[in-house]
Chain A
Amino acid sequence: MKKRIVAALLAATMTMGLLSGCGGKTTAEASGASDESTAVTSDAAMAEASEVDGTEITFWHSMGGVNGEAIDTLVKKFNDENELGITVNAQYQGEYDDSLNKLKSAQIGNMGADLVQVYEIGTSFMKNSGWIVPMQTLIDGDSYDVSQIEPNLSAYYTVDGQLCSMPFNSSTPIMYYNKDMFDAAGITEVPDSLEAIGQVGDKLLGAGAGEVMSLGIYGWFFEQFISKQGLEYANNGNGRDEAATAVAFDENGAAANILTAWKDLSDKGYAPNVGRGGDAGLADFSAGKSAITLGSTASLKQILQDVNGKFEVGTAYFPKIASSDVGGVSIGGASLWALDNQDPKKLRATWEFVKFLISPESQAYWNAQTGYFPVTVAAQDEAVFKENIAKYPQFETAIDQLHDSKPEYAGALLSIFPEARATVETEIESMLNGKQDVDTAVGNMATSINKSIEEYNLVNE
């Protein structure tokens, strides 16, 4: 008997370790957290620029690799050159999801950062978090001229006429194509829609393409296809007039259009399932297997490097669904959020640093190093920018595409966007694997996302 008890205890302790792995992080206690229902706070005061000498601020970012090095260079430059005595302490906090999770834990106790980089689909969460000072407050406090900021970039982060956060690393998706294959197939007009891609599919396959299009299953692309149709993702004005209560893509037909066209390409063998994620289709393209792929503008350098001159890489606008559609692209990437630390000096220092980051000079450097858009229009006059565009003429497509879009296609705001994106991907995947048809997939997406929105709105009132 005694042995049995010992055995039971032993078993319990061993397995309890399992739980604690997760439980340890869920110990989010209510104490000290500001009420999350309070919307944007705007009573934060900013000190004068002359008062901030010796102030140290912390900047959390999610840029690894080459992009991280570019950030470090910019931060070092600011620390060396700013005449106000501000020191910025930049910390890499892992990917966007990780960084946001850390921020949540940090907010419960003491603020961890003064400035934080958050991905675009975290916008709604941050806006309602009650932790932030809207960028607009800082802009107004300093009478800063915002007309220099690309309107189609700031549109995404503008809610109720207020710029919530400063766009920093923004990208749009574009279409990459293999010019040599297009020439071999005798295609002179680059297709501008999924429909048009389907029409040249046989020509490309005949000219030796392994597959017509390597199209990764990526929620962001799905959102872009909706914007390209000029339709809305969610209700309440895409979640911008008021928090969205349900998706709109099922009723306005946007999702069905996308999935029908996608499935058609897949059924004809033009666009096989290459997996999930924005990068899933890139390897096939770089290896010279697929004739077309979709990817972020920020992938341009990587693609050119991988292709390494094996063939000529062409770029074109992100495709529409039907060639008759009218719409634009929205942006992805991340923006900078100022956190409310009840310290006017730190706030001022943060603002000075943000101003430095979006200055034409910094932005031209940032663009050349990373392939993200220059946030400031004037960056396009910088020599660094001009050199870069001469070296990578393909980037011109991205700039033109952004300018051709309109703020009204800025895309949706949704509190549960990360989850919605994953749901969309899963359902598309099941559809391509032949487990369900278009209507079922759209229905499942809507049901699942609406349920999550409802639950979120219920517990986060």
Chain B
Amino acid sequence: MKRKKDLVAPYFYLIPSMLVFAVFLFYPFVKTIYLSLFKTNKLGQAKIFVGLGNYAELLSSASFRNSLKVTLIFVVIVVIGGMLLGLVTAVLCNKAFPGIRFFSTAYALPMAIASSSAAMIFQIMLHPAVGIVNKLLGLDINWLNDPKTALYCVAILTAWLNSGINFLYFSAGLGNIDESLYERASVDGATGVQKFFSLTLPGLSPIMFYTLVVNIIQAFQSFGQIKILTEGGPSETTNVIVYSIYRDAFFNYRFGSASAQSVILFIIIMLITLVMFRIEKKGVKY
């Protein structure tokens, strides 16, 4: 009798969180899949069943394929840039020196800046006529309106924004590495570079893995800075999937197509995440 109770009771404890998940995750999730099979009217109500029509239309549209490509480039730059910046700054701040408080605050600061406000500041800085970037470099480049540079500008801004939280993660990770390991390595005559690659990096691998997963997801979700800086332009060179979803849903009122894009994005991130959990087993040493 008692054992049976033990089997049932735990599920009751799960109910509150499941309820929250149901309302905010499962229901919208199912609804999104449902809507992606329909053409919707201007209120977002399913009107005409088209099956996989929305998906077929998307995959054959040059604009969506461009979005996929742009998103991929964007994510790669943001993840690599953001993590490198976070790692370098964290390693630099790992030693005590005068003014460390100032530097660590400065490096962690992007974490506290909302992407939209940062974007507005960058918009002024990158302005071709009055912006400080062109003035300092003595150039005349229309950064945000040139198809060649726009994506990089937005990606680098995002990388910098993400570097703040990465700095924090890596700093915590560095603190967890046993000091005595370094002492012993010094006794053995290891150089700073050797210590970094043989001790610091392996020691950081668990946190590195977590940071990587979070960074990739975050990069896919970047929105505010793109909306403010380029609105997907010029010539759709910064039209990442999330922005394209927003345009279709809340601007063009095509919730069906927007839902289909969301599902495709979900599948992509799902696959990437699964692959990474695979790799985790091989590469991460706890």
Across the interface, B221 reaches (CB within 8 A) one of A18, A30, A416, namely A18
- Is the Cβ of B145 less than 8 Å from the Cβ of A426? no
Look across to chain B and name the residue whose beta carbon is closest to the beta carbon of A460.
B41
Chain A contacts for B103, CB-based, 8 A:
none
Q: Is the CB of A429 within 8 A of B233?
A: yes
Would you give the shortest CB distance from A427 to chain B, in whole angstroms? 9
Q: Do A19 and B266 form a contact, CB below 8 Å, given A274-B142, A429-B234?
A: yes
State whether the Cβ of A309 lies closer than 8 Å to any Cβ in chain B. no
Chain A binding surface, main DSSP class = helix
Starting from the known contacts A18-B262, A20-B29, A419-B252, 4 additional A-B residue pairs (CB-CB under 8 Å) come to A26-B28, A36-B43, A210-B129, A284-B129
Report if A146 contacts B (CB, 8 A). Answer: no
In the complex, the answer to whether B270 meets A275 with C-beta atoms within 8 Å is: no
Asked if B265 and A18 sit within 8 Å, CB to CB, the answer is yes
Which residues of chain A are near B142, meaning CB under 8 Å? 272-275
A161 interface residue (CB < 8 Å to B)? no
Given A14-B217, A460-B42: A20 in contact with B274 (beta carbons within 8 A): no
**Interface residues, chain B, with chain A CB atoms under 8 Å away:** 21, 24-29, 31-32, 35, 39-45, 47-48, 127-130, 142, 144-145, 147, 213, 217, 220-221, 231, 233-236, 245-247, 249-255, 258-259, 262-263, 265-266, 269-270, 273-274, 277, 280
B220 touching A459 by the CB < 8 A rule? no
**Which of chain A's residues 358-402 have a Cβ closer than 8 Å to chain B?**
none
User: How far is B278's CA from A11's CA once the two chains are assembled, in angstroms?
Assistant: 11
In the bound assembly, the distance between CA atoms of A266 and B42 in angstroms comes to 38
Interface string of A267-283 (1 = CB under 8 A from B): 00000111111001001
Tell me if B25 and A422 are in contact (CB < 8 A). Answer: no
Are B252 and A416 in contact, CB atoms less than 8 angstroms apart? Answer: yes
Tally of A-B residue pairs with Cβ under 8 A? 159
| B221 contacts across to A, CB distance below 8 A | 18, 21
Chain B residue with the shortest CB-CB distance to A108: B43
Interface membership of A65, Cβ < 8 A: no
* B25 engages A20 (CB within 8 Å): yes
Closest B-chain residue to A33, C-beta based? Answer: B43
Give the residues in chain B near A277, CB-CB below 8 Å: 231
Task: Flag whether A97 is at the interface (Cβ < 8 A).
Answer: yes
Query: Pick the contact of B274 from A7, A13, A272 — CB < 8 Å?
Result: A7
- Compute how far the CA of A28 lies from the CA of B46 in the bound complex, rounded to whole angstroms: 9
Sample 7 A-B pairs with CB under 8 A, ordered by A number. A11-B270, A15-B269, A18-B262, A22-B258, A27-B31, A276-B145, A422-B247
Chain A interface residue count: which class? 35 or more
Stretch with Cβ within 8 A of B (4 or more), from A248-256, A313-321, A450-458: A450-458
Known: A23-B28, A23-B29, A276-B231. A459 touches B41 (CB 8 A): yes
Q: Which of B249, B252, B265 contacts A25 (CB 8 A)?
A: B249
CB pair A430 B39 closer than 8 Å? no
**Residue in A closest to B30 when the chains form the complex, CB atoms:** A23
Closest to A12 in B: B270
What CA separation (Å) do A284 and B127 show in the bound complex? 10
A66 in the interface, Cβ–Cβ < 8 Å? no
Determine the distance from Cα of A289 to Cα of B233 in the docked complex, in whole angstroms: 24
